[in-house]
Each structure stands twice: as C-alpha cells, then as structure tokens.
Amino acid sequence: MKQKIRQWFSLMREKNARGILLLFIVLFNLLLWIVSSLVAYVIAPDHYGNIVTALWASGITWMLEPGFYDPAVPIAIRIISIIVILTSMITFTGGIIGYVANIFSSIIDNAKRGKNKLHLYNHIVILNWNHKALELIADYRYDDETTAIVILSHHDKDVLENEIKRKLYDAKDGNKKKLSIIVREGEVFSKRDLMNICIEDSKTVIILADESEANTLTHKDMLSMKTLMLVSNLKIKPEQTILVEVKEQTSIGLINDYIAKHSGLNDQILPLLPDELMGRLIAQTLLMPELNQVYHELLSFEGAEFYTVKNMKAREFMETHHHAIPIYHLGDTLYVLSSESKDIELKREVPLHHYEPLIINDQTRYHEKHIVIFGKNQKLPYILDSIRLYERENHVKIHISQMESNEAVDIKSYTESIEHIDHILILSEDNLDPSEYDSEVLVTLLMTQELAKKHQAQIIIELLDPKHFDIAQSYNVQNTIISNEYVSRLMTQLSKNRKLYPLFIDLLTYDDESSEDETYEVYAYKAKDIIKHAFPLSFSTKALGIYTVFMSGNQDYIWIGTIKDGKLNIFKGNLDQEEPLTINEDDLMVVICK
C-alpha cells in the first residue's frame, strides 16, 4: 500500500506538480485550522462554549487575519495563536500568493513562448520560414484586407522577431498600415500547434520551403509536402487558399495529382515553383528590360492590380467601364486591371463605340539581340527555355553567350570575340548563406562595367537581398530584379485572389510547340514598331487610346501604359478624364497581347 501511494504521488508530481503543490497547501492549512481550534477548545472550553464556535473563533480567525491577537484569552491560547499566525503567513497567505504568482508567470511565459491558443479570423498563416517571409510581411502592409499574420516554424522565436523588426524598420513608411504579426515557435507537423494558431479560420495558408534543412534531404520538398499533407486534412473552408512553395518540378505533379485530388482541394491548393516563375520573368526582362518596372507595379499592392469579373466579355467591359482595363477571358472569368476593386463597378453613362482605326504592325517589331549571361543557378534553364520559345513564337534570333566565371581576366578573354552585346545578365548563386547573398553578383558587376560601356549594353542583375539594391543603383544599373521580393509579391496577390494564378502563369510563359491556343504575354514595344501611323499620335482620353488599339488589333492588343524617358505610367483612375494622351514614335507602349 505504501509503495502504491508513493508511486501515485511520484507520477502526479511529474505530471502535475502545480496541482500537487496546491493540494498540499490546502490540506496542510486545513489540518492546521482543525488541530489549532481543537487545542484551543481543550485549553479553554468555557471561553468558546462548544467545538463549532472554537472552529470559527480561533484557528480560522488567526489564519485569515494574521494581525489578530487577543490578549484577553489564556496565555496558552495566545502562544498557540502566535504559532498559527506565523505558520499560516508562510504556508497559507504566502503559499496562495506564490501559487497565484506562479500561474500569472506561467501565463506570461506561455504567451512569450507562443503556447496559448489564439482566437483569430481571416488572418494569414505562414508555415516554415525562409527569407521570402520577410518580403511577404513587408508587402502585406499595402493590403488593406490583411490585419494579422501568424508565423509558425521551428526556428527561434526571438531571432525571427528581431529579423522582422529590422525588415519593417528598413522598409519604414508612415503611410503604410501596421500589421499584427505573431511569431510562434512550434512544430508544423503538430495538429495541436496548427489548431492553436486557428489555421482553420485563416484566410490563406502559405507553406514555405524551409531552406535551412532542404539541402540535407533526399527530396528537397519533403518538408513542404509533409506540411501540406497535414494541412490538407484539416477542415479547410472553400474560401481558403493554400500556397505551397516547392523547389522541384516533379513536386507540382505530386501535389496536384495526389494531395489536392485526395483532399478535394484542387482549386484551393496552388503549388508555386519560384525558380520557374522567376526564370521566365527574368527572361522577359532580359529581352525587354523595361518590363522590370511594369512587373514591379503589377505584382504589388501599389498602383494598378489585377482583379476578376464574372460572365462578361472584354469588349463589352471596355465599352461600358471607364476605371478599369479588361485583359482577357479564361473560362467564365474576365481579368481586368484597376487601381482599386471598387473601381471595377464604375460605368460610363454612354458606352464607348467610335474610334479612328489604326494599322497594327505585327510582323517587323521584333529585333535580333545579343545577350551575355554571367553566372548559373536553378532559374537558368527556365530563362533559356523562355528565350527559345520567344524566338519560335516571334520568328527572331536571340544570340546567347554564357559564362560562369567572374574573374576579370576570364571575362575579358571570353568577351573580346563578341562583336556586339545588347544586354548583360548577372545571376545570383543558389544555396548561399544569407550573409553571403549577392556577393558574386556584385563582384561580377564591378568586372563588367567597362564591357557594358564599350558595347553600350544594358546590365540586368538579379539580387536576393533588397538591402543590396542601393549598391546596384550606385553603379547605374537601371534594371535590378530582386527575386525574393518578386516571389513574395506573387504570393501576396494570389493569397488575395487565387483565381489570378492562371493569369500569372500565362503572362509569364511564352507559347510552346504543343500549345493549342495562343496565350497573352506582356510586351514593351516602341510605338513605331507596333503602329503604322504618323507621329506624334494623340487621343483625347486614355480610354479612347486603349479602345482604338484594342479594336484596331482585332481585340488582341490591350494597351495598359507607356514608358516615356524611362518613366512608367500604367493607365488607371478615370480613363475618360479629358487629358490628351500623346505618344511619340520612340515612346514605349506597354501592351498585353498574344
């Protein structure tokens, strides 16, 4: 029996030490009350009259009122009362205060460690951690609909919070709203930890590739896949979106064919391969460097954004709406470009129908280019593939020279035989420690300054860390692509409206040989290369200019902006405003077309 009691006590002490302590405090002081009252009654029965009176007039009074001392009672009772008062001050008053203080301390500690259950709704959940998370958080400051972000990963909570504070301090802007950002240190494979961050009540779940461990795994996307397998089996609501970052093309097939299909979340799970998306975006920028400015606006919450409209034709929308530009259809969805969602509903009183036809040049606007690429990473195959598709689609030759070395002697000897260079691309390296981000890129940039000057070539560089942007600008690099920033902007846009996914894929991908239908891409043409007309060409309003190009080009050309003297102007706001739109022959027209 003694062993069983000791065993029970030992187990309870390990499982619930706080409960055992409270039980001991209660029992000890209950015993102290009863024993002291009985002793007092035995010593002075006439003073108390009966045992019940002694219980309420002696021991309990001494314990609850430590300052109580009655000199009228016999000296023996006075001594007992002093002993009870002193003992209860330690074991009762002090014990209860200590116990409650410990509870408060635990509550504060749990909150600090992120162990309490949250009660949030329509928030953003980020699972796992890499440096794209910092860009995601920074970009969400521009989204009026996002008020709270919760990050759950196994990384040290204090370290991540300090990184986020530094990022937001560097990106400080008084006009941007504040976000509630909660960092939880926990296990993304734990259902309890996921439920504690109210994942089932979130608006969007973003599963990032954990780059700190990906290189040690046979399958690079194992962490993302396992996380998705658990999340997809929770009670995900139809309006929720799950974005999954992967590093291998095969992972997309596994996610779509097995996880999404099995869970019935085909329309809600969006696997993203950043290397492919960025490779194709870099290729377009390499062919038309001005597109860097265009994508910088289109993929952020600043300026114009893409929205979706149901069951409406592009021409009908363009003729009746004057605060948004229709792009194209996909199924029953029309994609439109506008500065705000509310502007999509605004209509003109009299539909737009009249225009003066123009002759659209669709044959000779593509020019042969000579490109030199320095560096190599996982985006390079997609860059080369996009250039190949561009050549096939537009019947033009793009000459590409590749070089991995950044040694000055090697660069000089390799490029001496090249007669002409239009564009120079410098790629960032893969799998670097964050402290070494962009080192090779910046060194190569130094080495290629004279080469670019000799050929009057434009330099396009890829950076991973936005902090190095100012360094690139100091060397007069006009087109700097910050990969992590672009990927995060794609994710934030998709978290807001997952139906934009097909649009982004189409815009970034040139048609391949097996494509049955031509898709739309973004181009930046000189006006003289797309319109056969005497310049300058003027329109009374932006709406009239957009409509004229749209109708003249068989409804396949959507003019969304201009670039004059290097300054981008994406059309937005009231397109019917009486403000002449003038285009010169060397001005660039930003067009979305097949």
| Average confidence (pLDDT) over 16-29 | 71
**CA 492 to the chain's CA centroid:** 5
Task: Return the pLDDT at 237.
Answer: 92
Average pLDDT over residues 346-375: 85
pLDDT (0 to 100) of residue 590: 95
- Of 144-158, 311-325, 425-439, 440-454, the one with minimum mean pLDDT is 425-439
- List alpha helices for 141-255, DSSP H: 157-170, 191-196, 211-214, 222-231, 249-254
pLDDT of residue 557: 92
**pLDDT computed for residue 566 by the predictor:** 86
pLDDT at 129 over 60: yes
Do the domains 124-272 and 369-508 sit in the same CATH topology, yes or no? Answer: yes
**Percent of residues, the chain, with pLDDT higher than 70:** 85
Most confident among 8-12, 49-53, 512-516, 573-577 (mean pLDDT) = 573-577
Length of the chain: 594
Give the tens place of pLDDT for each residue, 415-440: 777 888 999 999 988 877 777 788 88
For the chain, what percent of residues have pLDDT higher than 90?
A: 32
Examine the pLDDT at 102 and tell me if it is beyond 80: no
Strand partners of residue 374: 403, 426
Confidence of residue 126 (pLDDT cuts 50, 70, 90): very high
pLDDT of residue 417: 79
Given a cut of 90, is residue 41 above it in pLDDT? no
Residue 396 pLDDT grade (very low, low, confident, very high; cuts 50, 70, 90): confident
Per-residue model confidence (pLDDT) at position 235: 92
Can you give the pLDDT at residue 23?
74
Average pLDDT, rounded, for the chain: 83
Locate the domains of the chain by residue range. Answer: 12-113, 124-272, 369-508
User: In which band, very low, low, confident or very high, does the pLDDT at 408 lie, cut at 50, 70 and 90?
Assistant: low
pLDDT of residue 330: 82
Instruction: Pick the range with the lowest mean pLDDT from 76-80, 354-358, 370-374, 563-567.
Output: 76-80
The answer on pLDDT for 68 being more than 60 is: no
E strands, 292-404, are 305-310, 325-330, 333-338, 359-360, 369-374, 398-403
The answer to whether 125 and 150 have CB atoms below 8 angstroms apart is yes
Nearest to 452 by CA among 343, 370, 566, 546: 370
12-113 fold: Helix Hairpins (1.10.287)
Whether the pLDDT of residue 315 is over 70: the answer is: yes
Give the strands of the sheet with 180-185, arranged side by side.
Answer: 180-185, 148-153, 124-127, 204-207, 241-245, 269-272
- Phi and psi torsions of 158, nearest 5°: -65, -40
- Give residue-wise pLDDT tens across range 436-465: 788 888 888 888 888 888 889 888 999 888
Q: What is the pLDDT of residue 560?
A: 95
Interacting residues of 275 by C-beta distance below 8 A, sequence separation 6+: 247, 377, 378, 379, 382
Residue 458, C-beta contacts closer than 8 angstroms, at least 6 positions apart: 289, 422, 423, 424, 452, 478, 479
**Is residue 53 very low, low, confident or very high in pLDDT (cuts 50, 70, 90)?**
confident
pLDDT for res 386: 93
pLDDT higher than threshold 80 for residue 511: no
Q: Which of 84-98, 244-258, 459-473 has the lowest mean pLDDT?
A: 84-98
Q: Tell which CATH architecture fits domain 369-508.
A: 3-Layer(aba) Sandwich (3.40)
What pLDDT does 29 receive? Answer: 72
Higher pLDDT, 217 or 351: 351
- pLDDT score at 109: 62
What one-character DSSP code corresponds to residue 4?
Answer: H
Q: Which residue has the tokens 């896949």?
A: 225
Q: What pLDDT was estimated at residue 268?
A: 93
3-state secondary structure of 295: helix
SS3 content of the chain, % helix, strand, coil (to 5): 50, 20, 35
In this model, does residue 215 exceed pLDDT 60?
no
Q: Which of 395-399, 429-433, 535-539 has the lowest mean pLDDT?
A: 429-433
Q: Are 462 and 282 in contact (CB under 8 A)?
A: yes
Give exposure, 261-292, as e/b (b: 16+ Cβ within 10 Å).
eebebeebbbbbbbbbbbbbbbbbbbbbbbbb
- The pLDDT-based confidence of 115 (bands split at 50, 70, 90) is low
Contact of 394 with 594, CB cutoff 8 Å: no
Domain 124-272, CATH among 3.40.50.720, 3.40.50.510, 1.10.3720.10, 3.40.50.740: 3.40.50.720
